[in-house]
Amino acid sequence: MQSASLGLKEQTVSSFERAKALMEKDAYFGGRWQSSETGEAYGVFDPATGLEIGTAPNLSDSQVGAAIDTADTGLQLWAGMLPLERSRVLNAWCDLMLARREGLAALITLEQGKPLAESLGEIDYAASFIRWYAEETKRDGGEILRSHLPGKRLHVNRAPIGIVAAITPWNFPSAMLARKAAAALAAGCSVIGLPSSKTPFSALAQARLAEEAGCPPGVFSVITGSTRRIVPLLCRDTRIRAVSFTGSTEVGRLIAGLCAQTIKHVSLELGGHAPFLVFEDATLDLAIEDAMNAKFQTTGQDCLAANRILVHDDLYDHFVEGFTSRAAMLKVGNGFDPGVTIGPMIDDKALRKVEEQVLDAKQHGARLHLGGGVHNAGPNFYEPTVLSDVTDDMLIMHEETFGPVAGIGRFSEEDEAIRRANATEYGLAAYVHTHDLSRSERMSRRLEYGMIGINTSRMTGAPIPFGGVKQSGLGREGGPYGMHDFMELKYVCAAY
């Protein structure tokens, strides 16, 4: 195997070595690090260089069953611990994550490709959820109801739902696992994490930190292998009581169907196709800056990415000009290189989808202002691309792009903007730029989205209920709401 370090420039070797130091080659369950009993493993590749960076075990069906066995045992121990004890473990996990922040960030960049500065931000974001739920576990109890029955005392308690399977994507390999696992662990559940086969090492590193933090055996496991084979095993096992999945809407539908067979609780954070509406009274520079952030962060491979930028006629030409100028300043390259703001696409399939959307838009009359092709940094790199005169009959207006391509269209009336923004099966996030207070209120009511940013593109964090409506998912992650998906209400009527 050719060393992936040969594909890095000299100044990035130290970051590469920090990442390698945190790279686990085995899965973790039952308090032990275990390879596949069949000896099978699969390669994991750096999307920037195409070189193999390591292998992860392809666990057998029986090993998946064993992981569930140990999670069942761990559940009994963890659920019986005092909330303060669970809080101490979570806080210790968070402390370890922040202490190894640079190495964990380098690991994300190595296996996912995003610029190192963004990876550092992801580690901070992940840690914030663990810290939040370390405190939340001490607060979320039950309540006493006013009785409608003479001589009776009515209690409502919240109990851990059971074993939780957390199935996580490749675009935020550390943060998505931390957000799910921290909430479930705070609720008193045991957790089995199944990361994307493209990015297993960030999840395995989290398992190592949780182990060092004092998480008991069986309480937090990370298993690896073929997600196509393992996901049905998790969904059909009656001992697993909740499945939390972040990924595409298509896969989310399949998971919901599998979980229906055993009446599991399902939490789904699925695709987004976010509109970004710029009204005539918007501050142009701020709108451009926010649109840049909402479009190009994580190389556009983000469910919150602005996919449909719609600008009022009065600002349209100025917006396109300013946005194109800003996009031209983006630096494409290996995420370890200084100053890089656009990394690689995750794989060739993702890049081909972007190419198809750009070609379709041009064939239907869109104007190309910037980019529009594969970047010379490598076969997985796509140029930051700006298209204007984008209309609703183009693929880019109907399919989530998941790449560094910005399609900009125009509108003339508020009702038109709302109608077009809502004309999708997705409903995760929307962005609005306006200084009209009445319009802001109308947007918050009429836009069919779970999260709406008004005059800002930065709205996520540990305290908020992250999630969407329509085909963008079920349930919420984050804040006090995030624990509720992993807890059952238990009503007790007692006569004393």
Residues annotated as catalytic (active site), given as ranges: 269, 303
Between CA 103 and CA 324 the distance in angstroms is 35
Which one, of 117, 233, 107, lies nearest residue 177 by Cα? 107
Neighbours of 139 (CB within 10 A): 11
Cα separations in angstroms, 451 against 288, 418, 429, 461, 464: 20, 15, 5, 12, 10
Neighbours of 338 (CB within 10 A): 12
Asked if residue 340 lies in contact with residue 11, where contact means CB atoms within 8 angstroms, the answer is no
Asked if residue 221 lies in contact with residue 28, where contact means CB atoms within 8 angstroms, the answer is yes
Asked if residue 313 lies in contact with residue 412, where contact means CB atoms within 8 angstroms, the answer is yes
Who contacts 216 (Cβ-Cβ below 8 Å, separation ≥6)? 31, 74, 77, 78
Who contacts 76 (Cβ-Cβ below 8 Å, separation ≥6)? none
